[in-house]
């Protein structure tokens, strides 16, 4: 057996898609160990890409042996976090400024349930969870100076991709529906991106045909956050692995994970990781907008999101209205002094609904995609009763 740096190991001839190595990844997480492999063997490619997805620093070469993920450096990058939080560039911060905070809330849905909030607004580019897929896609696809890159977004991914364009020297082109809030439009322009607002698009996915056609016509790379496996992979390596590490540090067992559905990349990854790690004993709670409601950044599951529908994951899905999401966000503001986004409020509302049915106990981790400060005029309209009805919103994330 020989353990080598994974970046120095022989690289497979092709990059596997997530579904090509997903069974291997699930087995490795479930067993928390990996089989030694030989370059060029049938198993090597799947093991290599699964370990890369998990953020392991090393790979074990050989035959007939198994090595724990801890020995392969699965948490090494977290344990090397810079002293004093000093970074030498924003790119350095994106690489080494992990994990984002995990905070236990005083807010409780019912007695016997403790809620831990994963605060994704500590990502520096878009102040949202969308920094993760944007950065991972750009890095893994080798995009940089002189490239022309585009995609559709409802706001946060647009800001993240535009910021990366400014940092790495590529030209970004973002397509936004008319309902997009100021973040997607103004921040992307400030970062130097081209912004195309489509007045006919009611949802971000309505823009995809136009983006595909324009990519061919104008010659830009369509990164397609909606179907790019690197979106899912970024949250295995980032969001899910961080929660696992942080729960170890905090000394609790994860009884359940919760979040809201957009592209489904982050919650599919978190749900997959923890159901494999626990051999299906971890509870998964998901929120989607109720019929007739528009919650910024969220979609209903039947709209065709990829990963949550492809993976064999058991979950509890709750319909949440916009008013319910905002009410829950206000409760958390008053109990804990933080203002979560409507999408975060929706996830917390789903946990409460789940707990009230007697289906939850123990420690639940909820992913809060971004900050509520982006949606102050939405909160204002709701608080003042200024004509806000279910299905109406002037903001997306």
Q: Are residues 192 and 175 in the same domain?
A: yes
Instruction: Identify the band that residue 22 occupies on the pLDDT scale cut at 50, 70 and 90.
Output: very high
User: What ranges make up the beta strands (E) of the chain?
Assistant: 2-5, 33-35, 58-61, 66-68, 102-104, 113-119, 148-152, 171-177, 194-198, 221-222, 254-260, 283-289, 316-320, 362-368
Contact 213, 221 (CB under 8 A): no
- With 60 as the cut, is the pLDDT of residue 332 above it? yes
- With 70 as the cut, is the pLDDT of residue 380 above it? yes
Provide the b/e sequence for 81-120 (b: ≥16 CB within 10 Å): eeeeeeeeeeeebbebbbbbebeebebebeeebbbbbbbb
Q: Are residues 118 and 147 in the same domain?
A: no
Domain tally for the chain? 3
Residue 389 placed within a domain: no
- With 50 as the cut, is the pLDDT of residue 325 above it? yes
Give 256-266 pLDDT, tens digit per residue. 999 999 999 99
Contact 343, 130 (CB under 8 A): no
Ramachandran class of 109: left when φ > 0, alpha when ψ lies in -120 to 50, beta otherwise: alpha
Contact 316, 354 (CB under 8 A): yes
Do the bridges between strand 194-198 and strand 113-119 make them parallel or antiparallel, or are there none, so unpaired?
unpaired
Q: Are residues 27 and 119 in the same domain?
A: no
Residue 260: which of 167, 370, 338, 336 has the closest Cα?
A: 370
Q: Are residues 238 and 352 in the same domain?
A: yes
For residue 244, how far is the Cα from the chain centroid?
15
Question: Tokens for 93?
Answer: 């911060």
Q: Are residues 187 and 238 in the same domain?
A: no
Residue 185 placed within a domain: yes
Residue 264 placed within a domain: yes
CA angle 108, 347, 278 (to 5 degrees): 85
The predicted structure's pLDDT at residue 181? 79
Q: Are residues 376 and 261 in the same domain?
A: yes
Mean pLDDT in the chain?
95
The predicted structure's pLDDT at residue 386? 54
Q: Are residues 378 and 291 in the same domain?
A: yes
The predicted structure's pLDDT at residue 225? 97
Contact 197, 178 (CB under 8 A): yes
Instruction: Identify the band that residue 182 occupies on the pLDDT scale cut at 50, 70 and 90.
Output: confident
Quote the CA–CA distance of 184 and 221 in Å, as a whole number: 20
Domain that holds residue 238: 99-125+230-384
**Mean pLDDT value across residues 109-115:** 96
- With 60 as the cut, is the pLDDT of residue 388 above it? no
**Backbone phi and psi for residue 327, each to the nearest 5 degrees, phi listed first:** -60, -45
């Amino acid at each position: 057996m020989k353990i080598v740096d994974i970046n120095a190991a022989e690289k497979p001839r092709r990059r596997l898609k997530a579904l090509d190595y997903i069974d291997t990844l699930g087995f490795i997480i479930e067993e928390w160990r990996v089989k030694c492999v030989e370059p060029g063997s049938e198993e090597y490619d799947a093991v290599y890409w699964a370990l890369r997805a998990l953020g392991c620093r090393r790979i074990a070469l050989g035959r007939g042996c198994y090595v724990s993920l801890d020995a392969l450096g699965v948490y090494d990058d977290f344990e090397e976090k810079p002293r004093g939080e000093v970074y030498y560039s924003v790119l350095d911060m994106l690489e080494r400024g992990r994990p984002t905070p995990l905070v236990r809330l005083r807010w409780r849905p019912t007695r016997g349930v403790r809620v831990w909030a994963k605060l994704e607004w500590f990502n520096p580019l878009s102040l949202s969870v969308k920094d993760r897929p944007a950065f991972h896609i750009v890095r893994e696809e080798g995009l940089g100076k002189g490239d022309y890159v585009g995609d559709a977004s409802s706001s946060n991914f647009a800001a993240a991709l535009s910021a990366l364009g400014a940092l790495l020297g590529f030209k970004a082109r973002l397509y936004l529906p008319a309902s997009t809030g100021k973040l997607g439009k103004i921040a992307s322009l400030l970062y130097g991106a081209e912004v195309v607002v489509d007045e006919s698009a009611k949802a971000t996915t309505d823009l995809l045909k136009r983006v595909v056609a324009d990519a061919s016509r104008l010659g830009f790379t369509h990164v397609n956050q909606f179907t790019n496996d690197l979106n899912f992979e970024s949250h295995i390596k980032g969001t899910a692995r961080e929660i696992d590490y942080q729960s170890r540090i905090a000394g609790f067992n994860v009884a359940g994970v919760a979040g809201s559905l957009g592209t489904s990349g982050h919650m599919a990854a978190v749900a997959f990781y923890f159901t494999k790690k626990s051999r299906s004993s971890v509870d998964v709670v998901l929120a989607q907008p109720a019929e007739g409601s528009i919650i910024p950044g969220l979609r209903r599951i039947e709209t065709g999101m990829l990963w949550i529908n492809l993976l064999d994951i058991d979950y509890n899905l709750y319909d949440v209205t916009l008013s319910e999401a905002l009410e829950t966000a206000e409760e958390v503001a008053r109990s804990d002094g933080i203002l979560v986004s409507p999408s975060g409020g929706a996830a917390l509302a789903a946990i409460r609904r789940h707990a009230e049915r007697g289906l939850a106990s123990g420690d639940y981790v909820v992913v809060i995609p971004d900050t509520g400060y982006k949606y102050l005029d939405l909160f204002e309209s709701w608080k003042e009763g200024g004509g806000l009805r279910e299905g109406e919103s002037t903001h997306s994330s």
